[in-house]
Structure 1
Amino acid sequence: MPIVIRLDVMLALRKVKSKDLATAIGITEANLSLLKQGKVKGIRLGTLEAICQHLDCQPGDLLVYEPDPE
């Protein structure tokens, strides 16, 4: 998929644990793990907003477009 989720990078930069983020934004650790691994087909804008608010970042810091090589 050409959209890459860089949540793990932002968590490391902000020195925030996945468990703490999941608790703060109200999702399960399992769902956050799937999101970090890029194994999701979509993300609710409310969830994205909560992540950005908690990590003090922009959606573009978390989502990157990398086209598939042809």
Structure 2
Amino acid sequence: MPIVVDIDVMLARRKMSVGELAERVGITPANLAVLKNGRAKAVRFTTLAALCEVLGCQPGDLLRWEPDGTARAEETRAEGAGRP
């Protein structure tokens, strides 16, 4: 998918766990995992706004567009390097 979700990056910068973020945003950890792992087909603006408020960031810090194939190539390299 050409939209890449960078919630992991912001979580690491804020030294925050997925569980803590989910609780503070008001969504389930399972739904946050779906969004974080790029499996979500949509995100509500209210959820995006809550993520930005809790993480102290802009929507562009969480979402970015990559041409088709670029994101998959990055994921393949990450998997080969032993990163999740």
Same-fold status (TM-score > 0.5): yes
Task: Give the paired residue count.
Answer: 69
The TM-score normalised by the length of structure 2 is 0.79
Structure 1: unaligned runs, 5 residues or longer:
none
Post-superposition Cα deviations, 1:2-61, rounded to whole Å, max 9, x if no partner, equal: 110000111011111110010011100000011110000000000000000000000000
The answer to which structure, 1 or 2, has the higher relative contact order (CA under 8 A, 6+ apart) is 1
TM-score by length of 1: 0.95
Runs of 5+ consecutive residues of structure 2 not aligned to the other structure = 70-84
Deviation of residue 68 (structure 1)?
1.1
Q: Which of structure 1's runs of 4+ aligned residues deviate more than 3 A?
A: none
